[in-house]
Every structure is written in C-alpha cells, then in structure tokens.
C-alpha cells in the first residue's frame, strides 16, 4: 500500500534526532550480541582457575583491548541515549534537544577517551 517505492526516505532522515535513534539502535543490538560472549567469559571461572586465566591472557591482545574500548563507547552511547529518551518521555518537553544530544555525544566521547587513557 505504501508509496515508499517512489523515492528514497533518506533525505527526510538527515537530522540529529534520526541519527541519535540510529546510534541507540546499533549500540543496543551490538551490546545484546556481546552479552552471551560476556556470560561465556564469566562462565570460564566455573571451569577452574586455569580456564579463566587462559581467557584473561588471551584478552590482553591489542585487538581485544581495542574491542574493549569500542565496547565502552557503545555502553556510554547507549546509556546516554537511554537517559535522553527517558527525559523526553518522563519530563516536560525541552526545546534544547540538540544541546541534549550534544551532551550525550560528549559523554560518550569522554567515557571512551577516559577508558583509553587508563589502558595499561
């Protein structure tokens, strides 16, 4: 029934609110995919000290540490974006939506950089 096939929808999406949604959705899906891996890693402790230590030493690789930074950025982005959505839905409307988005992006960047600087 839709006339969507008549043209691309993307030009109408070229604004901050849509991109905030996109970041929130992508980070949410990525974190959901990560969660089973996280539980599997914790589960190594049940297998004994050696199994966990083996995994932890594997996790010291630079590529894994880099992925860890990406994970922190995803977590920070999803947290900040979630708080933004809760503010929209639970608090009186604020016309400073782009400022709030900028604060969320700033928090995400700061969290990522702080984690990166603390890497050994």
Cα–Cα distance for residue pair 54/61, rounded to 1 Å: 12
Select 84 or 112, whichever has its Cβ closest to other proteins: 84
Tell me the window of 40-48, 61-69, 85-93, 111-119 that interacts with other proteins (CB under 8 A): 85-93
Tokens 């900040």 correspond to 80
Chain positions 39 to 58 lying near other proteins, rule: CB under 8 A, are none
Q: Is 72:112 a contact under the CB 8 Å cutoff? A: yes
Q: Does 96 participate in binding other proteins (rule CB under 8 A)?
A: no
Q: Does 21 participate in binding other proteins (rule CB under 8 A)?
A: yes
Cα–Cα distance for residue pair 58/34, rounded to 1 Å: 17
Cα–Cα distance for residue pair 92/113, rounded to 1 Å: 32
Q: Which of 35, 37, 90, 117 touches other proteins (CB under 8 A)?
A: 90
Cα–Cα distance for residue pair 120/118, rounded to 1 Å: 6
Q: Does 117 participate in binding other proteins (rule CB under 8 A)?
A: no
Which residues of the shown chain bind other proteins in the complex (CB under 8 A)? 1-13, 15, 17-18, 21, 85, 88-90, 93, 97
């Amino acid at each position: 029934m839709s006339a969507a096939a008549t043209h691309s929808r993307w030009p109408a999406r070229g604004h901050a609110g849509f991109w905030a949604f996109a970041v929130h959705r992508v980070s949410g899906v990525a974190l959901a995919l990560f969660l089973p891996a996280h539980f599997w890693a914790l589960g190594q402790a049940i297998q004994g000290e050696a199994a966990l230590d083996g995994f932890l030493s594997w996790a010291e690789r630079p590529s894994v540490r880099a992925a860890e930074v990406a994970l922190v950025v995803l977590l920070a982005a999803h947290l900040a974006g979630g708080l933004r959505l809760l503010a929209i839905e639970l608090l009186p409307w604020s016309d400073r939506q782009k400022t709030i988005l900028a604060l969320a992006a700033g928090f995400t960047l700061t969290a990522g950089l702080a984690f990166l600087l603390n890497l050994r």
